[in-house]
């Protein structure tokens, strides 16, 4: 029994080896890297929009002449008559790697190879929540969307001018003035605003401060406030509280160790109301890989502040009114473009 099994195993191995030898002596012509890789070569041709439309869902038959070395020649093309398309297909064939040649009894010989391809319909497909690639989103206008839902998140940058007036003790020494303001704010889905602000003011000196310095005081002492914002959006306007560190320069500084230089330091809480007025149209914009809406606004604001400085005569209230440019970038969490736009 043991010898019988060994003989059967030996005969099976011999037959398998013999079959492999026969296979190597006889083979049909075939693409070197398979038919899928061959098809990808043709799918990658950069046809014009008009040419792609002409071959959409059209079955095209390719007839190759393969020489004994495996070099392919696209001999015939059935299913398309546009000569420019035919030329593109033939030119692409020149870039194709050699085929595995046809072999009969161990001798390579010329052969014919057939392949059929159907070029698909080229269309931008929207994802589950209507998300498209950034280039398509940027090209669209608001009227091109079937729906577009904002996420409630937004980033705002405001920069502009203002006028201000001190009330109380400071008003006896400095009068009406003006300046500029910069705000950076982020609001989440709950409409709560977090941000940074900086305000700069210059007010005409009416009467010198009672300070221990013989140096001439500025004609318009500059005031700088820098701090944090915490607020909330209410539909078309927002209210924001601010807490700032403040300085006010009273005299000019001469050198690093100037004992006669007077700079008042302190802090300032404030309350500001902003009312943006939209300018122009809202524009879709892909911002850092996310769909957003860009709005340009004219921002009107009114503010009331209390300034607590290291000098009693400079401590008091201040009111301000400003006109600024506000850029708003609003987040989008769901949208869908109209089919008419996608078919362009």
Q: Mean pLDDT, consecutive 10-residue segments, the chain of 344 residues?
A: 51 49 71 88 88 89 92 92 92 91 89 89 49 68 89 95 96 95 95 96 94 90 97 95 96 87 95 96 85 95 96 96 96 85 71
Our CA angle for 124, 125, 128, nearest 5°, is 150
Q: Does some domain include residue 129?
A: no
| Tokens 């690093």 belong to residue | 256
Classified as helix, coil or strand, 218 is coil
pLDDT (0 to 100) of residue 235: 87
pTM tops 0.75 = no
Q: Does some domain include residue 277?
A: yes
pLDDT (0 to 100) of residue 335: 86
Q: Does some domain include residue 335?
A: yes
- E-assigned strand segments in the chain: 59-66, 72-78, 102-104, 107-109, 111-118, 145-167, 174-187, 192-205, 222-234, 237-249, 263-287, 290-309, 316-337
What are the structure tokens assigned to 116, written together?
């059929």
Give the rounded distance of the alpha carbon of 185 from its chain centre: 19
What are the structure tokens assigned to 177, written together?
């003035």
Whether 71 and 213 map to the same domain: the answer is no
pLDDT (0 to 100) of residue 131: 44
From CA 314, how far away is CA 173, in angstroms rounded? 8
Can you give the CATH number for the domain in which 322 is found? 2.40.160.20
Single residue among 118, 150, 180 that ends a domain in this structure: 118
Q: How far apart are the first and last CA of the chain?
A: 78
Whether 231 and 328 map to the same domain: the answer is yes
pLDDT (0 to 100) of residue 289: 74
- What mean pLDDT is reported for the chain? 87
What are the structure tokens assigned to 160, written together?
């502009």
pLDDT (0 to 100) of residue 22: 45
Looking at residue 206, what DSSP letter applies? S
pLDDT (0 to 100) of residue 124: 47
Q: Does some domain include residue 73?
A: yes
pLDDT (0 to 100) of residue 127: 45
From CA 133, how far away is CA 239, in angstroms rounded? 36
Handedness of CA 130, 134, 140, 142 (dihedral sign): positive
The residues with which 318 forms a beta bridge, in sequence order, are 166, 305
Number of structural domains the chain divides into? 2
What are the structure tokens assigned to 165, written together?
């007036």
pLDDT (0 to 100) of residue 35: 86
Residue 340 burial by Cβ neighbours in a 10 Å radius (0-12, 13-18, 19+) = exposed
Owning domain of residue 109: 15-118
Q: How many CB atoms lie within 10 A of CB 147?
A: 10
Buried b (16+ CB within 10 A) or exposed e, 226-238: ebebebebeeeeb
Whether 114 and 149 map to the same domain: the answer is no
Classified as helix, coil or strand, 135 is helix
What are the structure tokens assigned to 329, written together?
């970038």
């Amino acid at each position: 029994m043991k010898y019988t099994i060994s003989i059967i195993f030996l005969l099976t191995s011999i037959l398998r080896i013999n079959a492999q030898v026969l296979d190597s002596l006889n083979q049909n012509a075939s693409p070197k890297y398979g038919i899928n890789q061959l098809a990808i070569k043709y799918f990658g041709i950069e046809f014009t929009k008009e040419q792609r439309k002409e071959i959409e869902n059209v079955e095209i038959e390719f007839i190759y002449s393969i020489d004994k070395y495996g070099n392919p020649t696209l001999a015939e093309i059935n299913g398309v008559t546009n000569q420019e398309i035919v030329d593109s297909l033939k030119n692409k064939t020149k870039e194709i790697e050699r085929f595995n040649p046809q072999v009969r009894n161990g001798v390579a010989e010329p052969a014919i190879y057939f392949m059929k391809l159907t070029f698909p319909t080229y269309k931008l497909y929207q994802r589950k929540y209507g998300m498209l690639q950034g280039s398509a989103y940027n090209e669209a206008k608001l009227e091109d969307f079937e729906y577009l839902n904002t996420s409630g998140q937004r980033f705002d940058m405001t920069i502009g001018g203002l006028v201000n007036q001190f009330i109380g003790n400071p008003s006896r020494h400095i009068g009406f003035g003006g300046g500029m303001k910069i705000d950076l704010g982020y609001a989440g889905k709950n409409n709560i605003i977090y941000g940074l602000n900086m305000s700069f003011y210059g007010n005409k000196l009416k009467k010198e401060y009672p300070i221990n310095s013989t140096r001439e005081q500025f004609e318009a002492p500059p005031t700088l406030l820098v701090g944090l914002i915490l607020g909330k959006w209410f539909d078309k306007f927002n209210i924001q509280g601010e807490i700032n560190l403040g300085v006010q320069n009273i005299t000019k500084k001469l050198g690093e160790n100037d004992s006669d230089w007077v700079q008042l330091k302190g802090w300032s809480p404030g309350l500001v109301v902003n009312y943006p007025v939209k300018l122009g149209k809202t524009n879709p914009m892909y911002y850092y890989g996310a769909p957003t809406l860009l709005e340009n606004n004219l921002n009107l604001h009114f503010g009331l502040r209390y300034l607590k400085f290291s000098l009693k005569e400079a401590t008091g209230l201040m009111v301000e009114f400003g006109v600024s440019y506000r850029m708003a970038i609003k987040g989008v969490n769901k949208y869908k473009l109209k089919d008419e736009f996608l078919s362009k």
